[in-house]
């Protein structure tokens, strides 16, 4: 099972006659290798896979000179496969384990005989080991766990149903109560299962939540092993402490990560690299504060204040260790759903292309997310309970005329409803919140006739 949207990105990459090597990054176990293998079966006559993590001998292909002819000769000998020019895909899997292969990509792309896809799970934390980056010869593709739309499709929801829901979103029309209740149940299921492909497959095959939790527990253990294996010794304890504290920190009223809760003497500058490690490894999602909801949001960022989400909502549920899955699935409102629901929304927004920010001041209050679409800034509130019409901080934010905010969303249990600048959307419609794409043919020409003598 793999992400359909990433598959479409691969198809677009291959159809471009000038395509470079494709670099697929993302956390461990999100389906990168499986995706490429299935893609190779459909589109290529021959396929070679070098996994530098599982097979240390694969690195010998790049031990000698890094010119294309030498590498391809070594590759042919290693794989014992006939490599057909223009019809062969070479997968350089877990390329962070072989820095020389990363450097060689430039020469292989220039050679042009074969297509190359690189995958890396911990590239961001192994950058110092690469002697020379293939700048200009790679196209990036960051993969995430399956989003809610992909989860629905994997569980048998028809694409026509998704299209019908999208029409309701675009037209701001309420959904029928039967459909609404079914989609809310699916959304609660997604909060528990999450989007890690193997976990989703386990659920689809068995519908057994106990097996789902077992698979998630194994993934959390794998992430902790990665911290022990790949982080520098002086940072291991800090990274472990931050990672293990994510569930409890999200349960805080403001969701803000407070270092003093880990160590009363902790200072932001001493922990900055540890936060960055978790973000680069793809296992945690930072959400930074902005001092003003004005574009560009990045220029208004205050990185000393941040929230830290788990990369997958299902892993967050299991990491919470409170056996909350049953209550979540049955809509038990006595369970504090705020942190988990906010994590789902963060996961969706990032996967759809938004940078994660939030806003908080003593005068305005806290608004859960602030995103940017072109030059438009959009505040977003997330409500897990029955009081979704109460949002004092959002009202305060919209009332600041100098900021000119005229679009906002409240994601909640209720149906679609428009009230002035606020659009109430059911939580499952987060899947339709995406930045406006650039036109397919975005050309621009300046008329220079006025400059002629």
State pLDDT tens for residues 92-118: 999 988 989 999 999 999 999 999 999
> Which residue would you say has higher pLDDT here, 247 or 426?
426
Contact criterion met (CB below 8 Å) for 103 and 66? yes
Structure confidence at residue 28 (pLDDT): 87
Does the pLDDT at position 361 exceed 60? yes
Cα–Cα distances (Å) from 325 to 4, 31, 213, 329, 429, in that order, read 27, 24, 9, 6, 22
452: Cβ contacts below 8 Å, ≥ 6 apart: none
pLDDT class for 130, splitting at 50, 70, 90? low
| Contact indicator for 191, 317 with CB cutoff of 8 Å | yes
Helix (H) or strand (E) holding 25: strand 21-25
What pLDDT score was predicted for residue 227? 85
Q: What angle do CA 195, 196, 200 make, to 5 degrees?
A: 75
Nearest CA-CA partner of 410 in 363, 378, 437: 378
pTM score: 0.90
CATH assignment of 4-142, among 3.30.420.40, 3.40.50.300, 3.40.50.150, 3.40.50.2300: 3.40.50.300
| Residues 389-426: tens digit of each pLDDT | 999 999 999 999 999 999 999 999 999 999 999 999 99
**Each residue's pLDDT tens digit, 25-41:** 999 899 999 999 999 99
Q: 291 with 269: CB under 8 angstroms?
A: no
* Nearest to 153, CA basis, from 258, 1, 28, 289: 1
Tell me the H-state helices in 128-267.
148-154, 159-171, 177-193, 197-206, 209-230, 236-250
Query: Taking a C-beta distance cutoff of 8 angstroms, is the pair 58, 97 a contact?
Result: no
Indicate if the pLDDT at residue 71 is higher than 90.
Answer: yes
Beta-bridge mates of residue 382: 411
Q: Is the pLDDT of residue 325 over 90?
A: no
Instruction: Please list the residues that pair with 138 across neighbouring strands.
Output: 21
Every domain range in the chain assigned CATH 3.40.50.300 = 4-142
Dihedral sign for Cα 168, 169, 171, 175, please: positive
| CA of residue 277 relative to chain centroid, distance | 16
Residue 11 has pLDDT above 70, yes or no: yes
- pLDDT score recorded for residue 131: 59
The separation between CA 287 and the C-alpha centre of its own chain, rounded to angstroms, equals 13
Inter-residue contact 125 to 230 (CB < 8 Å): yes
- CA nearest 328: which of 225, 189, 148, 138? 189
The answer, yes or no, to whether residue 191 has pLDDT greater than 90, is yes
Would you say residue 129 has pLDDT above 80? no
């Amino acid at each position: 099972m793999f992400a359909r949207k990433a598959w479409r990105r691969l198809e677009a990459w291959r159809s471009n006659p000038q395509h470079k090597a494709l670099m697929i990054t993302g956390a461990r176990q999100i389906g990168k290798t499986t995706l490429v293998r299935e893609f190779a079966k459909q589109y290529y006559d021959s396929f070679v896979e070098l996994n530098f993590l599982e097979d240390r001998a694969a690195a010998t292909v790049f031990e000698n000179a890094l010119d294309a002819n030498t590498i391809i000769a070594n590759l042919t000998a290693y794989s014992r496969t006939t490599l057909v020019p223009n019809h062969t895909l070479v997968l350089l899997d877990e390329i962070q384990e072989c820095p020389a292969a990363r450097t060689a990509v430039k020469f292989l792309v220039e050679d042009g005989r074969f297509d190359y896809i690189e995958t890396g799970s911990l590239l961001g934390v192994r950058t110092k080991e690469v002697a020379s980056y293939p700048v200009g010869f790679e196209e990036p593709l960051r993969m995430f766990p399956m989003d809610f739309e992909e989860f629905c499709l994997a569980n048998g929801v028809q694409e026509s149903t998704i299209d019908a829901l999208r029409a309701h979103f675009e037209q701001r029309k309420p959904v029928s109560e039967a459909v609404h209740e079914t989609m809310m149940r699916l959304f609660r299921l997604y909060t528990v299962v999450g989007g890690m492909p193997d976990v989703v497959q386990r659920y689809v095959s068995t519908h057994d939540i106990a097996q789902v939790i077992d698979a998630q527990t194994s993934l959390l253990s794998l992430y902790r092993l990665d911290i022990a294996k790949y982080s520098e010794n002086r940072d291991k304890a800090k990274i472990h402490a931050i990672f293990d504290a994510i569930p409890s920190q999200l349960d805080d009223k403001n969701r803000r990560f407070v270092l003093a809760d880990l160590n009363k003497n902790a200072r932001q500058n001493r922990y900055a690299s540890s936060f960055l490690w978790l973000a680069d490894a793809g296992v945690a999602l930072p959400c930074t504060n902005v001092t003003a909801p004005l574009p560009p949001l990045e220029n208004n960022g205050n990185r000393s204040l941040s929230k830290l989400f788990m990369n997958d909502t299902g892993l967050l549920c299991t990491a919470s260790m409170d056996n909350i899955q049953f209550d979540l699935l049955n809509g038990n409102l006595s369970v504090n759903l705020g942190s988990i629901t906010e994590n789902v929304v963060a996961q969706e927004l990032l996967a759809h292309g938004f940078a994660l920010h939030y806003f908080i001041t003593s005068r305005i209050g806290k608004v859960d997310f602030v995103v940017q679409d072109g030059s438009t800034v959009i505040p977003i509130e997330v409500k897990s309970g029955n009081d979704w019409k109460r949002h004092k901080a959002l009202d305060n934010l919209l009332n600041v005329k100098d900021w000119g905010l005229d679009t906002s969303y409240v994601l909640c249990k209720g149906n679609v409803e428009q009230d002035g600048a606020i659009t109430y959307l059911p939580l499952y419609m987060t899947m339709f919140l995406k930045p406006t794409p650039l036109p397919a043919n975005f050309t621009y020409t300046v008329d220079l006739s006025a400059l002629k003598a």
